[in-house]
Structure formats: structure tokens, C-alpha cells
Amino acid sequence: MPSGRWKLTLDPSTPGAVRLVSSNTIDLPCIEVTAISVSKGLLWYSVELRSNHRVESLACLGEQAAVQLAADLYGFVNSHLFNLVASGRARLTEVDARLRIITEHQRQYLAHGDLARAIAAVPGKAAAALSHPLFDAEMMPSDLRAELPPSLAFLTDASVRHRYNDAFVSAELGRYRSFFDDLDGRSLSDQQREACIRLEDNNLLVASAGSGKSATMVGKVAYVLDKQLHRPEEILVLAFNRSAAEELRERIARQLGVAAADLKCRVTTFHALGRGIIEETEGRPPQLADWVEHPAGEAKVIEQIIDELLRADPEFARLWIDLLVLHPKADIPAEVFDTKADHERYLSVRRRKGSATIGTMAGVYVKSLQEQTIVNWLWLHSVEFEYERQIAVENENGATTHLHPDFYYPASQTIHEHLAINADGSSPFSGYIAHAESKRAAYRKAALDVFETTSAQANSGSLVTVLEAELAKRNTPFRRKSYSTIVKALEPVVIKHYHRLIAVCIKHIRASHLTLDMLLERAGSLQDQTRAKQFARAVWIITEAYSRKLEEAKRIDFDSMIANATRLVETGRYQSPYALILADEFQDISEPSANLIKALKHQRPFTKIFAVGDDWQSIYRFAGSDITIFTQFEANFGASWQGRLERTYRCNQLIADTAASFVQRNPAQLRKSVRSTRAAIARSIRVIPIDGDGAKPDFGDACWRLLKRLEIFLGGVSEQWRSDELQKLRVMVLWRYNQLDPFTGANPQFGNIEVSGLSFHRAKGLEADYTILLDVSEGDYGVPSQIEDDELLNLVMPRPETFEYAEERRLFYVALTRASRGVFLLTNSREPSRYIRELSEIAGDNLRFETIDGELLRQCPACRAGHVVERTGPANRRFLGCSQFPNCDYTAPLK
């Protein structure tokens, strides 16, 4: 049958198997179905059936149909399992004996899988059914339940097992007190100790920043081995990069008292695991593309592919240049935003007479993204124009009226009005239609050459075509600028942004086997459909070229390697030795890596997962991570225990409280209450507005001034913090984009402070005494960055986030939580970030506004993002007003 076509039969007369007809006919025994799950694809839902040696996906379903099918399958399998139990009642006394051995003396924590493993040792169909991973006692007929031995209450009544485990943990904490008092060079917290002891089939430990998650992983391995629950070679510890894996390996080996080289537990990366599985199964390592292991390799390959396509494919060149020049960001209607201010902030940071204006390639500022598209097209084709030129016309009563048409073309003396009129003739603005008609009448009376474009044309994708046709009628010469000229005029971040979008899309397109038609269908659901469809076509061409590059070189990339390793596990060609899998930084997991973990878990019965991470620090969407794998852990991996590490050893309590409240304003983030080992330091979050004298502030100069101030201040109180004459306090200077780097790669030298500079992303996992955050301001490249939260990601991501700037919020949280003593936020005094107001709402008087020299500034009580300054009104009257005027109209008399 064609891809996506299948037929599933659940026949009560033959309850032992389900029949699946797709490319061939399969009778899948119920006893072999180990997992049933529902997953969301790009355009539809799928039901996934897993057995020890295969995975079947029933695709092309609506959500309700998929949920119902999964429920029907689950019920069908359980009906068969209950029949097996009923037919094997005679062996239940042996099952009872096995269970009593492990439950009566409180020897170990009991997960459902531990009970099932004990039962599975009993021969017969009844034991096989009771130990089946899908066995659900709540669905069991009451008459059959009544016949079960008392010890099976551990299976049939979840509260019995939970009470046992709670009592076990309480007792075990006492038995292992000295063990945890000195583990990995520290005494573990109560939450860390509980996380080490609890071992359900699936476990998620939700950690706070600086809460000792690595120590907990070391403790988990040490405890499991001390209890002899698993052999060392059955334990797999996964980290996301080589340095993290090496650190964990060293710490585990040190705790166990062995050399790292002699450690029998496998501590490795997903990359090395995938390579090892393929090499062990096929007898040779996979042939990886030469760019895979280089940090910037993927970006360089994408750039190379684009350059080759620009030279060889005129259609792609047009698409790519139009994206860069005409569509730097999505044109999203004002009504989508919560407030007018939010919409204006999305459009631009520049304001004129209180209204947002938008920059263009031609250097003029316009009022809408559609006008930006027009101006950028005119610039691209070297068309001379004037924006809002004043034109005098005579109205019907003979008086002169001065109109300001959107565009004027001097070569043909043509007026061009771009009208905010929809396809049905309506406008989102009150009185707009009447105003447009009066202008039309004035132009007709003056016999001027006029043409119009509309929002409807922009929405349908015909705006540029109409514009070009109208200008061509007037013999306007077009001279398209060269690509090198375009690149020089573009801000580098725009190109980098598209490159990163493309990298994410390539991963999803290849991993999910998406087609161009699927991308175009999804594009029709986005706000800016014109841009989305152009990007879909461009990224499809790039993805095809990327795949050809791999095929011609007979190489694979990282995602393909992980997918190939997963298939070897799913088909049983690779036999997993792992009974316990620990995964670090689980918030960064991608779908291919998650599938590899699932395959390992389901291939070997009773394998357990222990995942550790912090969804508040999930900041690698551009590298393919999917936060919903973490936040919806149970839906992805099955029934689980979820613990917390809520004690931070890094930030003082004020920073910890403020940052936690800030990030949890996104309701999709998991809840935590963070407690610090460091007392709150009053006013340890400080906002420093920087003036730019009409231009963008010099944050580099401001940073140097603040560093010199810190150097002097800390030198004056060195007796309070210095334990030896060589000690320095650490200061990290952080920025959202690297063009803000004030040190040009060479960190400055001071006597009292040790300074380093990093991007927000690279600072993750690091800590300092003080941090300085540069350009915490509104704007495309500010905080939050308004180009990163791009709707184009929804072309390929089946589970997009709906909270505005969700990942940018997490990234700012990461930046906030690097410091133990204090954070300085340097902001554009004219356009402070919206996050400053939020921090003020949370921290209250503990958020201090000050000058770069440390003098107190009075925070505006109205907007809470600006500060109060002296202003001059009519008749030279002096008064106090907000620095954000006219966006904030707070005033007070001058005292």
C-alpha cells in the first residue's frame, strides 16, 4: 500500500494477536507488544506499537482517532493478558512465593518492573501476563482479581506499592546516612538522597540551576552499585558533550575508588554511543561527514551549499535574496498581540512621535512591515523613490491641501499609495476607508499619476508582482544589486538567523521524512504565509542539496548515525547490555536521541531510565532539542517518578527567587521552589540605563567603566572577601550576540577581579561572583531577541511552544542565574527590555536603578522600566517625568 496506508484488525475471536496490513501482512502477538504510544507529527497523529524487535507506526490520524485507537489496542492486549492469567491460575502460588521473597524484608525499592522481573522468573502463561509491561490491573475483571494471592496487591493496588516504597525510602535514608554524608566530596541534600534511592522504571529529576545534579548522578551510580542492584557493565551514563562525559567519568571513578580507565560503567555521549552501536553490529565504524565533529562545521556546510546554489540555481537565488531582503521577519497582524505596545515592540525599537517605525535597507524608516517590503524591493532593484513626500493639491473648495503619499517616483512623477485594505474591502483602522477615498479624489482632481497596492495583495503574495508590473508600465529601469552588495548592507545577524533556522529545519525534514507538499501545507497555517511558503521552498532545495552532498560522499551526519543506531536496536541486531540508563542535561534532548533511549529501554525487559535536567535552562532549540520530551516525560516514556532538586549552591536567595518567578511566568515550565544556601543580598539586581545621545548606546564603553568601578570598590573592601593576597572575585560579562563583545576576544586584566566575556548560551553551566549583562533592551538583537522566536520553526516542529519568546525567557534566566553576589543589567535608556519591568514587579524595591557610577536613580512608579528625570514643559516649566516619554506619560512636580 502507499505510504501512510494501513489496516489494523482487532478480532475478539482471535485475541492472541493483532493483524496489521501495510506493505505486507503482520500478525503481531499481543504478548510481544511492549509499548503503545500516541505521538504528534507535523500534520497528523500516529499510534506507535513497539515490540522487542520492531516498531510499527500507524500514521495519518486525527488526535481523537489516535487516542481512541491507542486505548482500543491497550484494552485488546490486556483482555488477552487477563485470559492468560485465568488459564494459569494453578501457577499463581509460585508467583506469590516469588513476590514475598522481595517484599517481606524491605531489601530494595520496588518499581513495577522489579515486581514484573520476579514474576517473569516463574514459568507459565499467567506469570508472563502478570509481568507484561502493559499489564493494567485496574482493567482486570473483579472476579479474576478476587482469586489472586494477597501479595499480588503490589501489582493490583498502586497504593500498596507506594506505601511500601515510602517506608523503604525513609528507612534507607537512615541506613545510608553516612554514605550520603560524604559523597563526591560533599554532603548530599535530602532531595539528592531521595533521588539516589528512588528507582522507578522511569525517573525524571527536575533540577534547579546550581543544585548539584552531577553530584546526584554520581551518587545514583554509587548507591546502585553498593546495593548490588546492577552490575557496573549494565549501567550507561549519557552526557551531551565530551567534556561533560569526561567530568562525570572522573567523578564516578573517584567516588568508586578506581581509575577512570578501569571504570566498567559506560559513561559516554550520544555521539559515541551511536558510533559504538554501529561499529559493534556492523564490524566497522560509520563513515561520518568530515564536518560533523567540528563545532562550526554544520554552519559552514550550510553556508557553502547556499553559495553553490546561488551560482547554479536562479530560482533559488531569487527565493533566498527575497527572504533576506524582503522578509527579514514575519508580518504578523496587530490583533495577534496582547497589546498595541507589544505589537510596536515587535515591529521596531525606533519611535517617531510616539509611534513605532521600521528600518529598511534604503535607510528610511517606515510604518509597517509591508512598507518595509516595498522599500527593500525598491532598494534591491535600484529604483529611485521618496517616502512620504509632501504634495500640494487643490481640494473641492479651492483650498490647498498637503498630502503625504507613501511613495513618490520622480523618474515618472508617479504616486504610489500602499493601503491597509483587506480582500473584502475592510480595514483594521477606524475611518481608514473614508480617508483613503478622500485622497483618491484629491489625486483625481489634480490629474496625478497614481497606483495602489494593498494589504490583501501582501497577504496573497502578489504585492511584489503588482509593484513590479506598475513600475514596468512606466518604463522604470530596474538594476538588481549584486549578492555581495546585499550581504554588505545586511546585518550579519539576519543571515546567521536564517542559517540557524535552516539547520533546525534540515534536521526535522530528514528525521521525519517530510515532503515539500507537507511543508507548504503547514505554511498555510502560519501568520505570514507568503514568507513561510518562500522559506519552505528555499529550505527544501537546501535540504535536497545537503542530502546529495552526504550521498555523493557516501557519508552520514550525526542525526543519521543516531537513527541508524536506533534501527539496529529496534530490529534486535544490536543486543543492549544496559539495565539502567542515566541521561544528563535531559532538557536538551532531541527526538532522534530520545528514540535511541526508548529503543534501548524497550529492547531489554525491565530497563530503567533516570533522566536529569532543568527545563528552565532548555536553550538549544536551534540545535534540534525539543523541550516537550522533558516537560511531557511521562507521555514519552511511561509512568514515572518525578523528583526535584530545589536547593541552589550558587545564587543568593534574592536572585534565585526573582529568576524563578520570572521563568515560571510561562505556565508550561515545570514548577519548582528554589532555596539557596546563600542568604538574600538586598538590591543585588541593578539596572543601569545607558544614554546614546540619539544613537545606540556604547555598551562596550559602559562595560569598561563598570568594571573599573567594581575593581576600585572591591579593592576597598578586600578584607571582607579575600582569604589570601592572590584571590580575585570572578566577573562574567554576558551578551546576547557576539557583536557586543567589548573585549574582542582578549579578556582584560585587573588586580581584584578576574573578568571573562561570553554569550548567554556559552555561559550555561558556568558561575561567577558578579555578572554584567549587556544591552538588556528591546529590539531584534536585544533581550528578548525578536528574531529568534520565529514562526518559521513551526513549519517543521510538531509541538511548537505557544508562550511568547519562551526560549528567550529561559535564556535570560540562564544569564540571570550565573551570579552568586550580584547582577548588573545595562540597558538602552530609551528602550529598556520588557523583562526589566517584569523583574521590577517581582523584586520590588530590591531592583535598584543607578547610574554607571553607582548613583541612585528614581525608578518610574508607573511603567517601572524607565527612571524619573527633569523635563521642560510649556513656558519653560520644569517638572519630573519618565525617561520613557512619550511611551510613559508619568509626571510629578519638581520639589
Side chain identity at 28, as an amino acid letter?
L
Contacts of 617 (CB under 8 A, 6+ apart): 209, 587, 764, 810, 813, 814
Distance CA 590, CA 620 (A): 9
Residue with cell 542535561: 585
Pairing mode, if any, of strands 17-21 and 25-29? antiparallel
pLDDT 10s digits, 863-879: 999 999 998 888 888 99
Distance CA 373, CA 872 (A): 39
What pLDDT score was predicted for residue 350?
A: 52
What pLDDT score was predicted for residue 2?
A: 38
Coil, strand or helix: which one is 173?
A: helix
Q: In the chain, which stretches have pLDDT less than 70?
A: 1-4, 348-356, 396, 694
pLDDT 10s digits, 448-484: 999 999 999 998 989 999 999 999 999 999 999 998 8
Beta strands across the sheet bearing 35-40: 35-40, 45-50, 55-61
Pairing mode, if any, of strands 685-690 and 847-849? parallel
| 57, β-bridge pairs | 48
- DSSP codes joined into one string, 135-166: --GGGS-HHHHHTS-GGGHHHH-HHHHHHHHH
Kindly state the helix (H) or strand (E) to which residue 41 belongs, with its residue range. Answer: none
Distance CA 610, CA 202 (A): 6
HSE at residue 687, side-chain half, CA atoms within 13 A, is 31
Are 58 and 661 in contact by the 8 Å Cβ rule? The answer is no
Are 338 and 539 in contact by the 8 Å Cβ rule? The answer is no
Buried b (16+ CB within 10 A) or exposed e, 771-802: bbbbbbbbbbbbbbbbbbbbbbbbbbbbbebe
| Cα–Cα–Cα angle for 147, 153, 159, rounded to 5 degrees | 145
- pTM (2 d.p.): 0.90
Coil, strand or helix: which one is 496?
A: helix
How does DSSP classify residue 844? G
Give the C-alpha distances (Å, rounded to integers) separating 227 from 106, 163, 190, 281: 13, 21, 19, 32
Distance CA 856, CA 228 (A): 61
Side chain identity at 315, as an amino acid letter?
E
Instruction: Please give the distance of CA 889 from its chain centroid, rounded to a whole number.
Output: 37
Distance CA 817, CA 656 (A): 7
| Cα–Cα–Cα angle for 660, 658, 776, rounded to 5 degrees | 105
How does DSSP classify residue 673? -
Residue with cell 559602559: 702
Are 773 and 826 in contact by the 8 Å Cβ rule? The answer is yes
Contacts of 877 (CB under 8 A, 6+ apart): none
Q: Is the dihedral of CA 497, 498, 501, 503 positive or negative?
A: negative
Distance CA 860, CA 869 (A): 9
Distance CA 745, CA 762 (A): 14
Cβ atoms within 10 Å, residue 45 = 21
Residue with cell 536567595: 653
Distance CA 717, CA 415 (A): 68
Give the C-alpha distances (Å, rounded to integers) separating 847 from 343, 688, 857: 27, 11, 11
Contacts of 94 (CB under 8 A, 6+ apart): 122, 124, 127
Distance CA 161, CA 856 (A): 59
Are 254 and 221 in contact by the 8 Å Cβ rule? The answer is no
Side chain identity at 673, as an amino acid letter?
S
Are 184 and 218 in contact by the 8 Å Cβ rule? The answer is yes
- DSSP codes joined into one string, 382-433: T---EES--EEEE-TTS-EEEE--SEEETTTTEEEEEE---TTS--SSTTHH
- Nearest in space to 200 (alpha carbons), one of 234, 169, 231: 169
